[in-house]
């Protein structure tokens, strides 16, 4: 097992966002968490990437190591877990190339860095065409590609993706998801995806969880969830 999460609790002040959720991800697996606005999807990713503190009794391990003993930067550099947040958070004044290079500052294998940049450009040819452009001036879809490319550069055991389909045209959405599949297949990168576009997310993944008001209420293989009458009614538009 790659990631095991038990009884994960997160609060923001008095607001309880996660009430003790448990889930797991195998190496190379694609897992999706679906849920309505405010269900706690982003919070789940923030907890795994150690961006928010977790409550008492929460336990998380990555390859058997206690994830809670790693600070956020070490989660990336030592465990290879990268987080592509909602809204992408690029350095808008920096070029595409500079954003990719910045993601590698903690890496010591400089030869591989060059190889990986070539890989990112193979996966997203659009980024190579735009490599000298300030990232803030690129389209939403191009910025999403860059955010994923940047995650690819910094570590690729597990990618945490927050609403990668947000704001993308159907065509670009397919491009981005195809690229993610390719990364998953070729590099064995596991993916934890949170999405409001539940149909797309479930089709893309092997396993899914349904999050409601900070609780996981349903889990199963994606095929089963897609055909579940309750899931259909609540998340797939009937
Ligand atoms: P969405 O699909 O709308 O992005 P989500 O499922 O990702 O929602 P979260 O962003 O994880 O949900 O939020 C879970 C709950 O925690 C919500 O009630 C939200 O208002 C609250 N919350 C999130 N971030 C903070 C914060 N920084 N301070 C206070 N409350 C927060």
150 vs 22, 67, 89, 218, CA distance in Å? 29, 22, 11, 32
- Closest protein CA for atom 19 of ligand 1: 38
Task: Identify which of 221, 130, 131 has the alpha carbon closest to the alpha carbon of residue 231.
Answer: 221
Is residue 15 within 6 Å of ligand 1 at its C-beta? yes
Cβ of residue 42 lying under 6 Å from some atom of ligand 1: yes
User: Are 93 and 136 in contact, with CB atoms under 8 Å apart?
Assistant: yes
Question: Per CATH, is 3-87+156-236 categorized as 3.40.50.300?
Answer: yes
Q: Which atom of ligand 1 is the closest one to the Cα of 15?
A: 30
Q: Is 196 in the pocket of ligand 1 (CB under 6 A)?
A: yes
Q: Each residue's pLDDT tens digit in the chain (238 positions)? A: 999 999 999 999 999 999 999 999 999 999 999 999 999 999 999 999 999 999 999 999 999 999 999 999 999 999 999 999 887 778 889 999 999 998 887 777 888 899 999 999 998 999 999 999 999 999 888 898 899 999 998 888 999 999 988 878 888 888 889 989 999 999 999 999 998 889 999 999 999 999 999 999 999 999 999 999 999 999 988 6
Tell me how crowded residue 202 is: count the other CB atoms within 10 A of its CB.
26
- ipTM comes to 0.97
- Torsion, Cα of 130, 159, 192, 206 (10° steps): 80
Instruction: Tell me, in angstroms, the distance from the centre of ligand 1 to residue 43's CA.
Output: 6
Q: What is the pLDDT of residue 208?
A: 97
- As a residue count, the chain comes to 238
Centre of ligand 1 to C-alpha 18, Å, is 10
Beta partners for 208? 32, 220
Sequence spans of domains, the chain: 3-87+156-236
Q: Whose CA is nearest to atom 4 of ligand 1?
A: 37
User: Nearest 5°: CA angle at 179, between 175 and 196?
Assistant: 65
């Amino acid at each position: 097992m790659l990631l095991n999460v038990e009884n994960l609790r997160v609060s923001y002040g008095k607001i309880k966002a996660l009430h003790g959720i448990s889930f797991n991800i195998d190496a190379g697996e694609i897992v999706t968490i679906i849920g309505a606005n405010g269900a706690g999807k982003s919070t789940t990713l923030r907890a795994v990437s150690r961006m928010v503190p977790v409550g008492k009794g929460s336990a998380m391990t990555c390859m058997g190591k206690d994830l809670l003993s790693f600070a956020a930067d070490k989660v990336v550099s030592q465990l290879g877990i990268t987080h592509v947040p909602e809204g992408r958070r690029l350095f808008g004044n920096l070029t595409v190339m500079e954003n990719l290079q910045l993601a590698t500052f903690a890496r010591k294998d400089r030869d591989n860095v060059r190889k990986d940049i070539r890989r990112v450009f193979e996966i997203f040819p659009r980024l190579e065409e735009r490599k000298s452009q300030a990232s803030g001036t690129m389209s939403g879809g191009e910025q999403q590609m860059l955010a994923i490319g940047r995650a690819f550069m910094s570590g690729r055991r597990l990618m945490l993706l927050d609403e990668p389909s947000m704001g993308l045209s159907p065509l670009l959405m397919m491009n981005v998801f195809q690229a993610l599949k390719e990364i998953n297949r070729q590099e064995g990168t596991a993916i934890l995806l949170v999405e409001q576009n539940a149909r797309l997310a479930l089709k893309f993944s092997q396993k899914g969880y349904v999050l409601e008001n900070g609780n996981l209420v349903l889990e199963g293989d994606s095929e089963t969830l897609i055909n579940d009458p309750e899931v259909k009614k609540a998340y797939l538009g009937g």
